[in-house]
Amino acid sequence: MAPDTNDLRGPCPGLNTLANHGFLPRDGKGLNVSIILDASLKGYNLQSEVIIVPAKLGLLTTNNPSSFTLDDIKLHGTIEHDASLSREDLALGDNVHFNETIFSTLANSNPGSDFYDVASAGKVQQLRLEDSETRNPFNNTNTEKEIGIRSGESALYLSVMGDPVTGKAPKEFVQIFFREERLPIAEGWHRPETPISLATRNPLVQSITEASNWTSSGGCPVIILDP
Ligand code: HEM
Ligand code: MG
């Protein structure tokens, strides 16, 4: 179900989708670590070992001591970063809502194939970073922290929409996931049979980072600790 006017959504297509399907509270509020771990397992067969750290970081994005909302997690510099796949840099505008112009780099990647893979995902990250550096030269942050999160997110869209072992995901599924924030069940998607674990995710992250030809723009990694 699409969100109601009072429902909160945020910069994460993975969590927005879980809320749109009722695995997370549809209002996007009252989230905590166990609620996120439970929904990730039910919706995506995603093991808690993969998602517990971002789930904990979610609590830093609010002054509420025990819960956060899907909107809170937009706090720039905790998890949210520049050069996103489907959202604008904060300094250039809206870092929360889906942006088709930004997403076109990913949408049009890997021409001639029906799949995205670690090579295309790495190339997309490279292009998104170049665009961010060109248009947002004074506010772009790009350290080891950001590449770790960005490659982790790319590994997640390949894993939840495709095969967590090979890292190949049908383009149609990935595009529906980002554009509509729904599970493409009607199109033939099903929850991955292979549990998404650190053992499946870490090799994908490594291959994606290698394929992205990444270098740091300098500066120390910083985690913003509160709003
Ligand atoms: C971004 C997937 C869980 C917080 C993203 C992106 C993907 C993704 C693919 C990149 C979006 C883009 O670059 O445009 C997932 C999946 C999850 C999940 C499949 C499984 C449940 C989480 C958790 C948190 C979180 C547990 C924290 C509570 C974020 C935030 C962003 C994000 C703040 C924005 C980063 C940015 O692009 O600037 N997620 N995620 N995600 N995710 Fe998640
Ligand atoms: Mg961002």
User: What pLDDT was estimated at residue 133?
Assistant: 98
Separation of 190 CA from ligand 2 center, angstroms? Answer: 28
User: What pLDDT was estimated at residue 66?
Assistant: 97
Single-letter residue type at 141: T
Ligand 1 mutation pick, 57, 86, 153, max ligand atoms within 8 A of CB: 153
Residue 52 near residue 201, CB atoms below 8 Å: no
What are the sequence ranges of the domains in the chain? 13-211
Q: What kind of fold does domain 13-211 have according to CATH?
A: Chloroperoxidase (1.10.489)
Residues touching ligand 1 (Cβ under 6 Å) are 11-15, 36, 40, 44, 46, 51, 54-55, 58, 73, 79-81, 84-87, 153, 156-157, 160
**What does the pLDDT profile of the chain (227 residues) look like in tens digits?**
999 999 999 999 999 999 999 999 999 999 999 999 999 999 999 999 999 999 999 999 999 999 999 999 999 999 999 999 999 999 999 999 999 999 999 999 999 999 999 999 999 999 999 999 999 999 999 999 999 999 999 999 999 999 999 999 999 999 999 999 999 999 999 999 999 999 999 999 999 999 999 999 999 999 999 99
Closest residue (by CA) to atom 35 of ligand 1?
80
Separation of 138 CA from ligand 1 center, angstroms? Answer: 24
Ligand 1 mutation pick, 8, 9, 12, 99, max ligand atoms within 8 A of CB: 12
Separation of 111 CA from ligand 1 center, angstroms? Answer: 25
SS (H, E, C) the chain: CCCCCCCCCCCCHHHHHHHHCCCCCCCCCCECHHHHHHHHHHHHCECHHHHHHHHHHHHHHCCCCCCECCCHHHCECCCECCCCCCCCCHHHCCCCCCCHHHHHHHHCCCCCCCEECHHHHHHHHHHHHHHHHHHCCCCCCCCHHHHHHHHHHHHHHHHHHCCCCCCCEEHHHHHHHHHHCCCCCCCCCCCCCCCECHHHHHHHHHHHHHHCCCCCCCCCCCCCCCC
